[in-house]
A and B are shown apart, each in its own frame.
Chain A
Amino acid sequence: MIQIKNLTKKYGSTVALDRLDLEIHPGEIIGLFGPNGAGKTTLIKSIFGFVNYQGSITLDGEPITRKNIARMSFGTCEHSFFPGINANDHAEFYRDHFQSFDERRFAVLMDFFDLPRNKKIKHMSTGQQNQFEVIMALSQGSDYIFLDEPFAGNDIFNREDFYKVLLGMLGPDETLLLSTHLIEEVSGLVSRAVLLDKGKIIGDKQIAELDSENAGLIDYIKDAYSYKADRVFQALEQLSPEGE
């Protein structure tokens, strides 16, 4: 289990994360939602120690060090692959650095996305680069997989098929935290929704609970963010000649 306690991150005077507490349990598929600037990416970067923070983050009770960091993998829309080498060389690198690198999963996903193995990643299209980023995160063989806006630039058909493959592929103890704006698309995939706003968790709910309440994920999110349904109408009204 990843346990985050009292996590605070400031960029100068801006508070990106504000005394945040969160537990991530094995086997969960968590959707991390929130508007731009809510702190989603900073939260993930803090877990990996990419940024300095205050508070504590532990993995099975131990601080995250080089001894256990390989139990977590990361795929990001910023990309973290080496652009000047090809997919096969990446696989070799991962094999050397991550003992549990899943060769079979790598091969299946490369075929699924029909990605070239001998082409430098920088010569792939943005969509293919996103796919490759996700492939490496999923193939590392980690217990906790963090994906930060991984599908930006990918078409809907690829995304929908991929969600299906993902659901069938993940083992019972594999944990996925997916930060995305594509709420509707992932609503059938996630088992828990965590909502962030201004560095704080404003909602945390199991999808099973929502189902039992006959509530949809979108409605839950709109409710949590106090979505004003009439704001479109008001804006249009102000723009109309009568509104002047």
Chain B
Amino acid sequence: MKKIISTIEVFAGLTIKRMFVVLGSMAALELILFWIFGLSRQVYTFENAVIRSFIPVVFCAAYLAMYWALAWFSGRNSTYRYTLQRLTLSERSATAVQTVYYALCFLLFLLTQVVLTVLMAKLFEGGKYFSEGAQGIFIDMRYNTYFLYNLVPLWTGVQRVKSLLCIILAAIAAAHMNVSVRRGYTPVISFILAAAAAMLWAMPIVPHMDPELVIPLFIFVILIPAGTLYMTYSRANKGSNVEDIPWD
């Protein structure tokens, strides 16, 4: 266990500052834009205030920045995979630990956006053009925009599964990118997977989506990540004659 925690600490040490820069920038930019376009102009619904403040655009850009910040550290001037390869913890296991760490980071990213949205709703409620009432804000979040709806991950079971899936996809994409970069491959499938995670996030699964599409979509988003995961762990072990033993 100590080795696993220690490995997470190393990955965190390499990325955490960059991650907080992304989260901080996202928060600052969203609040400034919301202040300018959402609160200072005649906007009567929270939904409009959010859209006119370009919050979904900032969120999307922050997602890409997050993906880059977590995964794109090639170890310039260092082939640190040599160290990962000669631990008693296998590089594959280290990569699995890394994937879990990335999932936690993307969860934090989503939670940050949820907190920001709640904060913006509170600010809007106290603003001079507020007229729709608390229930209006609730309806905006529940029904009117996919962006806001997706940020309320606790509505339905399917929505929760979808949010979890998005986090897992993003984490696998980031892990694949990092392994590819440190192994000298071009991480093409990682970009595809990162885009798939973003698209899945933006998609109206419930209640607006055709139910017949749900199953094929879920298969699609399970098959691609499974393939990517397989490729990631194959790459993580490539060029190694060192026999794997389980974690101790």
Contact = CB atoms under 8 A, between A and B. Distances in A.
A93 B4 CA distance: 10
A123 to B, nearest CB: 11
Contacts of B239: 50-52
Contact of A84 (B13, B83, B89, B242): B13
Interface residues of B, number: 32
Interface in B187-211: none
Interface stretch (A59-67, A108-116, A205-213, A219-227): A59-67
Contacts of A80: 78-83
A89 B13 contact: yes
Interface string B1-22: 0110110011001110000000
Contacts, number: 109
A83 B85 contact: no
Interface in B19-49: none
Contacts of B77: 79, 83, 122, 126, 129
A83 B78 contact: yes
B243 interface: yes
Max chain A C-beta neighbours (<10 A), residue from B3, B87, B245: B87
Chain A, interface residues (CB within 8 Å), range? 35 or more
B75 A83 contact: yes
A72 B245 CA distance: 17
B90 interface: yes
A52 B241 contact: yes
A57 to B, nearest CB: 8
B244 A85 contact: no
Contacts of B82: 48, 50, 74, 76, 78, 80
A82 B75 contact: yes
A70 interface: yes
Contact of B10 (A72, A74, A89, A129): A89
B243 A65 contact: yes
Tell me the interface secondary structure of chain A in the complex. mixed
Max chain A C-beta neighbours (<10 A), residue from B3, B241, B244: B241
Contacts of B90: 66
Max chain B C-beta neighbours (<10 A), residue from A53, A76, A79, A84: A84
A42 to B, nearest CB: 12
A49 interface: yes
Contact of B80 (A49, A52, A82, A129): A82
A198 B175 CA distance: 38
Contacts of A121: 78
Contacts of B85: 48-50
B79 A67 contact: no
A66 B3 CA distance: 13
Contact of A81 (B6, B83, B89, B240): B83
B13 A85 contact: yes
A89 B9 contact: yes
A103 interface: no
A164 interface: no
A119 interface: no
Interface in B88-142: 88-90
Nearest to B93: A66
Given A96-B3, A96-B6, A97-B87, A85 B243 contact: no
A79 B79 CA distance: 6
B86 interface: yes
Nearest to A70: B88
Nearest to B79: A78
29 contacts: A46-B241, A48-B85, A50-B240, A51-B239, A53-B241, A63-B243, A66-B243, A67-B88, A69-B242, A74-B82, A76-B79, A78-B79, A79-B77, A79-B80, A80-B79, A82-B10, A82-B80, A83-B73, A83-B77, A84-B13, A84-B15, A84-B73, A89-B13, A92-B9, A93-B10, A96-B2, A96-B6, A97-B89, A126-B77
Given A66-B243, A129-B78, 9 more contacts: A50-B85, A50-B239, A51-B241, A66-B88, A74-B86, A79-B77, A85-B10, A96-B5, A97-B3
Interface of A: 46, 48-53, 63-67, 69-70, 72-74, 76, 78-85, 89, 92-93, 96-97, 121-122, 126, 129
